[in-house]
Chains A and B, each alone.
Chain A
């Protein structure tokens, strides 16, 4: 319960952010729009990963290693969904920080995502070179 309640409050705040509007003062609208565009860029990044997963599942022939194709597709698709959820959360936290004139939230997420994608890419390139099917 101790974990669930703050989590539920966070999720509820995403859809009904009236609490958020109550704090601080409205920032310059250009900053808000920049925050919105950053959010949209993350959404498109998520869409691109989901699209990559759909392409793997839809266009690759079944691989000889059982369920390898499905596994690659699932990892990409779930990563895309994760990026979307995190984008909404990060947008809300940035908006709140701007209203309170606090520093923008720091995040390790971009670095972790970049490392994950880089390693995944290398792994797949290695698999292709090694002739794994």
Chain B
């Protein structure tokens, strides 16, 4: 350990948290692609394409939150309280669209 008694090892915790955000954004990207694939499962039906298109909102959302958080992590370390709620909302958004696409004829 190179950390002193006064401070934590520099970089370790913020770095791991940044990487955790990157993995999460990457997972969100994979979900976006899976949703797109599900939308065009039976050809290019306009309704399914429209519903599937809305997945881009969730993708952009998680992309922006990830970007914001990765940049802000070094400055204060504190996570603004709305970030988890909005991130969970993106996941819920993916779930809603996936559920609709799963049952849509």
Contacts and interface: CB of A to CB of B under 8 A. Distances in A.
Nearest to A26: B78
A16 B85 CA distance: 9
Interface in A1-58: 14-18, 20-21, 26, 28-30, 32-34, 36-37, 39-41, 43-44, 46-48, 50-51, 53-55, 57-58
Contact of B103 (A32, A55, A74, A84): A74
Interface in A76-100: 77-78, 80-81, 83-85, 87-88, 91-92, 95
B84 A50 contact: no
B84 A88 contact: yes
Contacts of B6: none
B20 A40 contact: yes
30 contacts: A14-B81, A14-B85, A15-B82, A26-B78, A29-B13, A30-B13, A32-B77, A33-B14, A33-B79, A39-B84, A39-B87, A41-B20, A43-B91, A47-B31, A47-B94, A50-B31, A51-B30, A54-B38, A58-B38, A74-B102, A77-B98, A80-B94, A81-B91, A81-B95, A81-B96, A83-B91, A84-B91, A84-B95, A91-B84, A95-B81
